[in-house]
Structure 1
């Protein structure tokens, strides 16, 4: 059984904040199953955007795990915000989590799909 978006986001924000990085919810979506997007601030001031990975990348042994795929990398914040605003017009149920980690290493913060 897959965790609800609300529960998963709350756990992510808590875990990241407890790790010494910073995470905040900037848009609250549908509690049960809203899509989750991650806006990640890089150490150089640029941003990366991650969204839900396509179903075809999920492993049969972990079909309920949430995976993310890179959508944009090392761009200005305004570019990310424009994309997220367009996405919100199409899907008001989405969640947006903003993360800052000045270690510059997001590998242990949230799962990104391989390949």
Structure 2
């Protein structure tokens, strides 16, 4: 059984990894420090955005990052506003990257 990181520790580590890759990122909503879910919004600076959430991967019985919303940035923001209204413990991290990099597929970030 693996120990699960607290949300605030995972967010801090993720932000550090993004900084090392020179990818601007900001916490736009702080959730519960211990067990709050995390959504990563990628703004590609062309009016478009994509929001990722961790989802159950039934094929591997693990977790993976899946798309919660994508399209016009205003529409993605509206989805995130509704999600935060339903779950005030939700963390939202916003990345600004024209190349669309999130690093979510890297070791240590992609699954549990």
Runs (4+) off by over 4 Å: none
CA distance in 1, matches of 2:94, 2:36: 16
Which residue of the partner structure matches residue 110 of structure 1? 104
Q: Is the contact between residue 57 and residue 64 of structure 2 (CA under 8 Å) also seen in structure 1?
A: no
19, 22, 25: which one aligns with 2:24:
22
RMSD (Å) for aligned C-alpha atoms = 2.1
Task: Give the total of aligned pairs.
Answer: 105
Q: In structure 2, what is the Cα distance between the partners aligned to 1:17 and 1:45? A: 23
Q: State the TM-score, normalized to the length of structure 2.
A: 0.81
Structure 1 residues not aligned, in runs of 5+: none
| Structure number with higher strand proportion | 2
Q: Distance in 2 between matches of 1:48 and 1:8?
A: 20
Aligned to 2:56: 54
Q: How big is each residue's C-alpha offset from its partner over 1:42-73, in whole Å with a ceiling of 9 and x where there is no partner? A: 2533101111212535x45xx5xx63111223
Give 5+ residue unaligned stretches, structure 2. none
Contact 1:51 1:69 in 2 (8 A): yes
1:3 to 2, 5, 10: 5
Q: 2:38 aligns with which of 19, 36, 39?
A: 36
> Which of these residues, 65, 78, 84, is aligned with residue 80 of structure 2?
84
Match of residue 67, structure 2, among 63, 66, 70: 70
Length-normalised TM-score, structure 1: 0.79
